[in-house]
Structure 1
Amino acid sequence: MTTHFISAEIDLKETPIKLSQAIESELQKQGEPLRWAITKVDTDKQTAQVEAIVTKQMTNN
């Protein structure tokens, strides 16, 4: 298992509960999220920058 630092841009036009679900869903595409934080908000574009640590299973090739 390896850990990776990732960042993602999330649309802020959701309700707070749906925003959390949208963040988790986006992070799941990259691995299993350990922790995440919203680090920047662009009010003009209505987006949030999210930074996270995720884990991924190593594949044996």
Structure 2
Amino acid sequence: MTTHFISAEIDLTESPAELPKAIEKELEKRGEPLRWAVSEVDKEREVVRVEAVVTQED
């Protein structure tokens, strides 16, 4: 098992309550998320930048 630091851009959702679910769904494509944080919000492009630590099976 290895850990990786990744950055991802996620489209903003219409409902703020749905944003964490959208982030976790995207991160799960890259591994098992251990922790994540929104590091930037781009209102013009309607995306958020997320930094995360994920684990992947070797």
- Report the TM-score range of the alignment, normalised by the length of the smaller protein: over 0.9
Measured against aligned partners, the alpha-carbon deviations of 1:11-34 in whole angstroms (never above 9, x if no partner) come to 113312211100000000000000
2:31 matches 1:31: yes
Runs of at least 5 residues in structure 2 that lack an aligned partner in the other structure? none
For structure 1, the residue ranges without an aligned partner over 5 or more in a row are none
Number of residue pairs aligned between Structure 1 and Structure 2: 58
Q: Which runs of 4+ in 1 moved over 2 A?
A: none
Matched residue type, 2:35: R
Q: TM-score, length-normalised on structure 1?
A: 0.88
CA distance in 2, matches of 1:55, 1:23: 16
Name the counterpart of 1:48: 48
TM-score, L = length of structure 2: 0.93
**Structure 1: distance between partners of 2:28 and 2:34:** 10
Root mean square deviation, CA, Å? 0.9
**Identity of matched residues, %:** 60
- Give 1 or 2 for the bigger CA radius of gyration: 1
Give distance in 1, aligned partners of 2:43 and 2:57: 36
- The 1-side partners of 2:54 and 2:7 are apart by 10
State the SS of the aligned residue for 2:24: helix
